[in-house]
Amino acid sequence: MASFILFGAEGGLFDLDATLPLMAVQVVLLTFILNSLFFKPVGKVVEEREGYVFKSRAEAKKKLAEVQTLEADLKQQLKEARQSAQSVINEAEEDSNKLYQEALSLATSEANASREQARREIDSQKDSAINQLKRDSDQLGDLIVQRLLAEK
Protein backbone atom coordinates (compact mmCIF):
# COMPACT_ATOMS: atom_id res chain seq x y z
CA MET A 1 0.00 0.00 0.00
CA ALA A 2 2.88 2.35 0.68
CA SER A 3 4.07 1.93 -2.88
CA PHE A 4 0.59 2.79 -4.12
CA ILE A 5 0.65 6.06 -2.17
CA LEU A 6 4.11 6.95 -3.40
CA PHE A 7 3.67 6.05 -7.04
CA GLY A 8 -0.04 5.75 -7.17
CA ALA A 9 -2.45 7.39 -9.47
CA GLU A 10 -3.36 10.98 -9.07
CA GLY A 11 -2.61 12.87 -5.94
CA GLY A 12 0.30 10.67 -4.89
CA LEU A 13 3.62 11.94 -3.81
CA PHE A 14 5.15 11.46 -7.27
CA ASP A 15 3.12 11.87 -10.39
CA LEU A 16 4.80 10.48 -13.43
CA ASP A 17 3.39 12.83 -16.00
CA ALA A 18 4.83 15.95 -17.73
CA THR A 19 5.46 17.83 -14.52
CA LEU A 20 8.67 15.94 -13.75
CA PRO A 21 10.60 17.10 -16.84
CA LEU A 22 9.12 20.59 -16.40
CA MET A 23 10.36 20.69 -12.82
CA ALA A 24 13.81 19.47 -13.96
CA VAL A 25 13.97 22.24 -16.57
CA GLN A 26 12.87 24.78 -13.94
CA VAL A 27 15.60 23.60 -11.55
CA VAL A 28 18.26 23.80 -14.29
CA LEU A 29 16.97 27.21 -15.43
CA LEU A 30 16.83 28.50 -11.84
CA THR A 31 20.34 27.17 -11.19
CA PHE A 32 21.64 28.91 -14.33
CA ILE A 33 19.91 32.21 -13.41
CA LEU A 34 21.07 32.09 -9.80
CA ASN A 35 24.58 31.22 -10.91
CA SER A 36 24.77 34.07 -13.42
CA LEU A 37 23.01 36.69 -11.27
CA PHE A 38 24.22 35.92 -7.76
CA PHE A 39 26.94 33.32 -7.50
CA LYS A 40 29.32 34.60 -10.21
CA PRO A 41 29.34 38.24 -8.97
CA VAL A 42 29.65 37.08 -5.36
CA GLY A 43 32.38 34.63 -6.38
CA LYS A 44 34.14 37.39 -8.30
CA VAL A 45 34.00 39.70 -5.28
CA VAL A 46 35.24 36.89 -3.02
CA GLU A 47 38.10 36.14 -5.43
CA GLU A 48 39.01 39.85 -5.64
CA ARG A 49 38.92 40.08 -1.88
CA GLU A 50 41.08 36.96 -1.56
CA GLY A 51 43.53 38.45 -4.06
CA TYR A 52 43.59 41.72 -2.13
CA VAL A 53 44.14 39.88 1.16
CA PHE A 54 46.89 37.74 -0.38
CA LYS A 55 48.53 40.83 -1.91
CA SER A 56 48.22 42.72 1.38
CA ARG A 57 49.74 39.81 3.32
CA ALA A 58 52.60 39.59 0.84
CA GLU A 59 53.24 43.34 1.11
CA ALA A 60 52.99 43.16 4.89
CA LYS A 61 55.52 40.31 4.98
CA LYS A 62 57.81 42.27 2.67
CA LYS A 63 57.50 45.40 4.82
CA LEU A 64 58.05 43.36 7.98
CA ALA A 65 61.23 41.93 6.48
CA GLU A 66 62.34 45.47 5.56
CA VAL A 67 61.57 46.69 9.07
CA GLN A 68 63.52 43.83 10.59
CA THR A 69 66.45 44.59 8.28
CA LEU A 70 66.29 48.28 9.16
CA GLU A 71 66.04 47.42 12.84
CA ALA A 72 69.13 45.22 12.60
CA ASP A 73 70.96 47.99 10.71
CA LEU A 74 69.93 50.59 13.26
CA LYS A 75 71.03 48.34 16.12
CA GLN A 76 74.39 47.88 14.41
CA GLN A 77 74.71 51.63 13.83
CA LEU A 78 73.78 52.29 17.44
CA LYS A 79 76.38 49.79 18.61
CA GLU A 80 79.01 51.39 16.38
CA ALA A 81 78.00 54.87 17.56
CA ARG A 82 78.31 53.78 21.18
CA GLN A 83 81.71 52.29 20.49
CA SER A 84 82.90 55.41 18.68
CA ALA A 85 81.51 57.62 21.45
CA GLN A 86 83.32 55.49 24.03
CA SER A 87 86.55 55.74 22.04
CA VAL A 88 86.11 59.53 21.76
CA ILE A 89 85.52 59.69 25.51
CA ASN A 90 88.62 57.58 26.15
CA GLU A 91 90.69 59.75 23.80
CA ALA A 92 89.39 62.89 25.50
CA GLU A 93 90.28 61.47 28.91
CA GLU A 94 93.75 60.55 27.66
CA ASP A 95 94.19 64.01 26.15
CA SER A 96 93.02 65.71 29.32
CA ASN A 97 95.35 63.53 31.41
CA LYS A 98 98.20 64.33 29.02
CA LEU A 99 97.42 68.05 29.18
CA TYR A 100 97.17 67.83 32.96
CA GLN A 101 100.52 66.07 33.18
CA GLU A 102 102.09 68.60 30.80
CA ALA A 103 100.63 71.52 32.76
CA LEU A 104 101.75 69.92 36.01
CA SER A 105 105.28 69.33 34.74
CA LEU A 106 105.39 72.87 33.31
CA ALA A 107 104.16 74.32 36.58
CA THR A 108 106.63 72.16 38.51
CA SER A 109 109.51 73.22 36.26
CA GLU A 110 108.46 76.88 36.52
CA ALA A 111 108.21 76.54 40.29
CA ASN A 112 111.62 74.86 40.40
CA ALA A 113 113.08 77.55 38.15
CA SER A 114 111.50 80.27 40.25
CA ARG A 115 112.77 78.61 43.44
CA GLU A 116 116.23 78.24 41.93
CA GLN A 117 116.19 81.89 40.85
CA ALA A 118 115.09 82.93 44.32
CA ARG A 119 117.83 80.75 45.85
CA ARG A 120 120.42 82.33 43.57
CA GLU A 121 119.18 85.79 44.46
CA ILE A 122 119.28 84.91 48.17
CA ASP A 123 122.78 83.45 47.75
CA SER A 124 123.83 86.56 45.87
CA GLN A 125 122.36 88.82 48.53
CA LYS A 126 123.91 86.61 51.21
CA ASP A 127 127.32 86.81 49.52
CA SER A 128 126.87 90.54 49.10
CA ALA A 129 125.91 90.88 52.76
CA ILE A 130 128.87 88.72 53.84
CA ASN A 131 131.22 90.80 51.69
CA GLN A 132 129.71 93.97 53.12
CA LEU A 133 130.12 92.56 56.63
CA LYS A 134 133.73 91.62 55.85
CA ARG A 135 134.45 95.13 54.60
CA ASP A 136 132.68 96.63 57.57
CA SER A 137 134.51 94.29 59.95
CA ASP A 138 137.84 95.06 58.23
CA GLN A 139 137.11 98.79 58.54
CA LEU A 140 136.06 98.35 62.12
CA GLY A 141 139.17 96.28 62.83
CA ASP A 142 141.33 98.92 61.15
CA LEU A 143 139.57 101.60 63.14
CA ILE A 144 140.11 99.70 66.38
CA VAL A 145 143.73 99.13 65.50
CA GLN A 146 144.21 102.83 64.68
CA ARG A 147 142.62 103.93 67.93
CA LEU A 148 144.61 101.47 69.90
CA LEU A 149 147.78 102.58 68.22
CA ALA A 150 146.77 106.16 68.64
CA GLU A 151 146.32 105.75 72.37
CA LYS A 152 149.70 104.29 72.88
Taking only the tens place, the pLDDT of each residue in 86-100 is: 999 999 999 999 999
Per-residue model confidence (pLDDT) at position 147:
83
Dihedral angle, C-alpha 7, 13, 19, 22, nearest 10 °: -120
Rounded-to-integer distance, Cα 52 and Cα 34, Å: 26
For residue 28, what are the domain limits?
Answer: 2-151
**Residue 24: pLDDT band by 50, 70, 90 thresholds?**
confident
Number of domains in the chain: 1
- Write down the pTM of the prediction: 0.45
**Residue 152: pLDDT band by 50, 70, 90 thresholds?**
low
Rounded-to-integer distance, Cα 39 and Cα 36, Å: 6
Output DSSP code: residue 11. Answer: T
Q: How far is CA 78 from each of CA 67, 74, 75, rounded to the nearest angstrom?
A: 16, 6, 5
